[in-house]
């Protein structure tokens, strides 16, 4: 299990809300979140691990705050 605390830009929230409002299911929203976290956390904003593909499996908990 990996605990990740990561800042994501507001555009990610907009993309997630737009997907939800367009009827995207949890699976599709999880893919969007995995892509955003992959870029910000694992690829360090595009500075490393360029070919890395990120997928969530068995996501147990997510907590979001706006600050």
**pLDDT tens per residue, range 7-50:** 888 888 889 899 999 999 988 988 898 888 888 888 887 788 77
> What confidence score (pLDDT) does residue 30 get?
87
> What confidence score (pLDDT) does residue 10 get?
87
Its pTM stands at: 0.74
> What confidence score (pLDDT) does residue 48 get?
83
61-66 long-range Cβ contacts below 8 angstroms, 24+ apart:
62/33, 64/13, 66/13
> What confidence score (pLDDT) does residue 67 get?
66
Burial grade of 64 (CB within 10 A; 0-12, 13-18, 19 or more): exposed
């Amino acid at each position: 299990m990996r605990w990740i605390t990561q800042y994501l830009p507001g555009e990610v929230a907009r993309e997630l809300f737009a997907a939800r409002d367009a009827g995207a299911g949890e699976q599709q929203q999880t893919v969007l979140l995995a892509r955003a976290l992959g870029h910000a956390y694992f690829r360090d904003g595009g500075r490393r691990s360029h070919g890395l593909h990120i997928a969530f499996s068995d996501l147990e908990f997510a907590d979001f705050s706006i600050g």
